[in-house]
Structure 1
Amino acid sequence: MAAVAVSSDTEKLSNLQSAVAGLSQISENEKSGFINLVSRYLCGEAEQIEWSKIKTPTDEVVVPYDSMEPVSEDPAVTKKLLDKLVVLKLNGGLGTTMGCTGPKSVIEVRNGLTFLDLIVIQIESLNAKYGCSVPLLLMNSFNTHDDTLKIVEKYSDSNIEIHTFNQSQYPRLVVEDFLPFPCKGQTGKDGWYPPGHGDVFQSLMNSGKLDALLSQGKEYVFIANSDNLGATVDLKILSHLIQNQNEYCMEVTPKTLADVKGGTLISYEGRVQLLEIAQVPNEHVNEFKSIEKFKIFNTNNLWVNLNAIKRLVETDALKMEIIPNPKEVEGVKVLQLETAAGAAIRFFDHAIGVNVPRSRFLPVKATSDLLLVQSDLYTLVDGFVIRNKARTNPENPSIELGPEFKKVGNFLSRFKSIPSIIELDSLKVSGDVWFGAGIKLKGKVTITAKPGEKLEIPDGVVLEN
């Protein structure tokens, strides 16, 4: 039986190769990257993790942030550090879950400023303060590329070099016969997908940006999601990596019950590696989700040495775990094969994690997160979103908003102003609820409008427990 399966896989691959060769929309690099990914998938390369071999990383491998040496106060030292740095934001995501068309990074976060505005202001203030030139790179997908180019024009007078490049564009695979969707007459955007942010290393190289940066003397890239407001340049981490010649560093932070699905760092056969929930055998999923055994999770703030990226991409050594993502498009079952940048950690030398304060992880994935960052829980200083010291509880309130609040437009229209939540523990809102101005929420608050009724909360009300 096995022999039949092998020949059909070989056949699948060879049919796929000839079909992909005829796709004029993508480059030769993208074609070979895609075929490489599919052939690895067909070989069933997924190594099963042996649960008994998993060890908790020591403090040498996951370094406590507070144990790192503080950076010298001398501005010349800081300038020298920053001149080796590039900031890269993953900007391929659309704001579709929040009801937006176009790149998620142009959603307004605070005071009329978008994610992208805040990122630019942060780097501008660093460059101005230290006389350095930290460039900003935006990795777009074919979904966000055109819009981002238009948006970036408004920063043409700033003191930052802004570069954009696209991640790869791969054809979706039709499950039934394993052929590319675009070959089946699906010529629009629905025929394609961006293969996850694990593609950042290859795309940096393919775009020519990597060699250009190396020729300018840049050594490290700080990679983060554009919607993580906590992902700012940290000199202490950069200095530590340069001193210790760490080629890769993943920022992790203590797990709360809200983060049980996030990937975690483990020591495995003498190397540090990322363990994602998808790799966990079924019988160990609950153990993986517990915050006793696996205390930290990946924030996807990554610091990587540029020379090391070049070496590993050139030798085709970055074989990150493949994440199969099945979808249905217009009634057709398709498959997307993706990879994640965090999984690359095990291929780099002297790779470490850093256990950072929770303030470095402030993603906005839904309007409930937007409520947090627009509230008095945070203030804005030089583009940095800073947590209000008046809140004594180190954890943020948990917020659950009903479907009426899911889209940004609807969310904004339902608040005359964002309530004060400094003393809030949890908020649950369901039904047709509208908020007046100057409202204060304290303790545990639940607001429910009966079906078919509109509930308006008057201005200036204090709701406690």
Structure 2
Amino acid sequence: MAAADTEKLNNLRSAVSSLTQISENEKSGFINLVSRYLSGEAEHVEWSKIQTPTDKIVVPYDTLSAVPEDAAETKSLLDKLVVLKLNGGLGTTMGCTGPKSVIEVRNGLTFLDLIVIQIESLNKKYGCSVPLLLMNSFNTHEDTQKIIEKYAGSNIEIHTFNQSQYPRLVVDDFLPLPSKGETGKDGWYPPGHGDVFPSLMNSGKLDTLLSQGKEYVFVANSDNLGAVVDLKILNHLIQNKNEYCMEVTPKTLADVKGGTLISYDGKVQLLEIAQVPDQHVNEFKSIEKFKIFNTNNLWVNLNAIKRLVQADALKMEIIPNPKEVNGVKVLQLETAAGAAIKFYDNAIGINVPRSRFLPVKASSDLLLVQSDLYTEKDGYVIRNPARTDPANPSIELGPEFKKVGEFLKRFKSIPSIIELDSLKVSGDVWFGSNVVLKGKVVVAANSGEKLEIPDGAVLQNKEVHGAGDI
């Protein structure tokens, strides 16, 4: 490390030591991350050494053996499992306050309701006790504690713990923003979901789970409705002693930026777009060479997490995330849980059906899951078999639909989209009830005009700009 960087780090260390809002573990974790960043240990991938993983490393889902039908065997499998949902995100991008997991998805049920109902029905069916862990951030912690009180009567143990809270770095002098007088939440950030492993350990939850005989944790984003417990995957990992498994799924043109699995120096590794040399970005985005992408559904052995965190061996690639807070340029250093795959023994990917990846990132996704394209049973959101096309329709909604509240107001009821290929909506558009959309539909209100689609309208392969076009 250059002398100037060493000085920066020393100044930072003394400034961080006087921050009273965070624990000693958080302070040392943060300093560790910054010193790795300053030493420039970012690994550049040598493009010529990348190999496509074999079916042994990225296992096709349909080759997994069937789970024994015996209920007692199923119970013993499930008794080794913990479900952990990443619950640190706020619903701000969708115009909501509080944790994103409390946005209503379907039939008045939130993401969290659906997750709880799923695990409850598993526990009831097999007489097992799969606990639910929620990793909150300092942004979602208080709200989540209040929200989960409503599940007090359910047959499911719910644990919460917080991921680390790190100070934002001021770019100019590399000092923590909170020591510059930024006393509110704006001075801090949660350092990405790669932090799940040390936080699980530091919270004491890892040792509690190990003492209960738990062996595997299934980690997934709380907004991925497809991330449900899968016994075939769990059974495969236990039989083959895989310490880590990343679910990947075939890439479509909508997923070109997602990370992918490669074989590199004899190990399986996650390749993210940020690591790709500029001249190879187009190749990375093509779906010919890199056919799969990371769903962020991860299965990890709990004993392995403990071993690697204790050895400080999880040195995932650092993702620098520049931001601006009240006119001050700051830097957030983050890590991703998927990048940890290369540190675990016998790690694999499993190439799962697309149905296991159903994230709700925007109101256009909400339209999909609230429509007749899906039904909900026992907390599971299931695709309607009446749709023959395996791909979902592509949906683009204008800024008027961005906030969930506005989105809901603009639909008297969610249209039927079983036979829809694509929908593009822009301008001041309002949908009546029982509207049916088929083929390719564009609804674009003329500037300054309100366009109302009447109740019961059927739009098939149409472009609508005014009432006369319907």
Deviation at 1:232, TM superposition (A): 0.1
SS in 1 for 2:2: helix
2:20 to 18, 24, 33: 24
Letter in 2 for 1:401: L
- Matched-pair identity in %: 85
1:187 to 180, 183, 187: 183
Partner of 1:14: 10
Q: Describe how 1:128-207 pairs up with structure 2 within 5 A.
A: 128-207=124-203
Letter in 2 for 1:241: L
Partner of 2:444: 448
2:101 to 66, 84, 105: 105
CA distance in 2, matches of 1:444, 1:310: 51
1:117 to 107, 113, 120: 113
SS in 2 for 1:428: strand
Letter in 2 for 1:91: N
Q: Describe how 1:32-431 pairs up with structure 2 within 5 A.
A: 32-431=28-427
Unaligned runs of 5+ in 1: none
Deviation at 1:36, TM superposition (A): 0.1
Letter in 2 for 1:184: K
SS in 1 for 2:308: helix
CA distance in 2, matches of 1:214, 1:282: 44
Letter in 2 for 1:154: K
Map Cα deviations across residues 203-233 of structure 1 (whole Å, 9 max, x no partner). Answer: 0000000000000000000000000000000
Deviation at 1:65, TM superposition (A): 0.1
Map Cα deviations across residues 279-336 of structure 1 (whole Å, 9 max, x no partner). Answer: 0000000000000000000000000000000000000000000000000010000000
CA distance in 1, matches of 2:421, 2:435: 15
Deviation at 1:84, TM superposition (A): 0.0
CA distance in 2, matches of 1:219, 1:44: 36
Deviation at 1:394, TM superposition (A): 0.1
Letter in 2 for 1:82: L
Letter in 2 for 1:143: N
CA distance in 2, matches of 1:204, 1:298: 22
CA distance in 1, matches of 2:29, 2:270: 23
TM-score of the pair, normalised by structure 1:
0.99
Map Cα deviations across residues 55-106 of structure 1 (whole Å, 9 max, x no partner). Answer: 0000000000000001011111100000000000000000110001100000
CA distance in 1, matches of 2:317, 2:166: 17
CA distance in 2, matches of 1:243, 1:62: 16
Letter in 1 for 2:283: E
CA distance in 2, matches of 1:374, 1:74: 36
Letter in 2 for 1:9: D
Partner of 2:468: none
SS in 2 for 1:179: coil
Letter in 2 for 1:370: L
Letter in 1 for 2:62: D
CA distance in 2, matches of 1:78, 1:429: 47
Unaligned runs of 5+ in 2: 462-470
Letter in 2 for 1:445: V
Map Cα deviations across residues 154-193 of structure 1 (whole Å, 9 max, x no partner). Answer: 0000000000000000000000000000000001000000
Letter in 2 for 1:461: A
Equivalent pairs counted in the alignment come to 461
CA distance in 2, matches of 1:106, 1:273: 33
CA distance in 1, matches of 2:62, 2:74: 19
Letter in 2 for 1:131: G
Deviation at 1:15, TM superposition (A): 0.2
CA distance in 2, matches of 1:169, 1:460: 51
Partner of 2:467: none
SS in 1 for 2:133: strand
Q: Indicate the RMSD between aligned Cα atoms, in angstroms.
A: 0.4
Letter in 2 for 1:429: V
Deviation at 1:47, TM superposition (A): 1.1
CA distance in 2, matches of 1:196, 1:327: 14
CA distance in 2, matches of 1:161, 1:47: 41
SS in 2 for 1:417: coil
Letter in 2 for 1:89: K
Structure 1 residue runs of 4 or more that deviate by more than 2 Å after TM superposition:
none
CA distance in 1, matches of 2:15, 2:180: 10
Map Cα deviations across residues 226-247 of structure 1 (whole Å, 9 max, x no partner). Answer: 0000000000000000000000
Letter in 2 for 1:133: S
SS in 2 for 1:63: strand
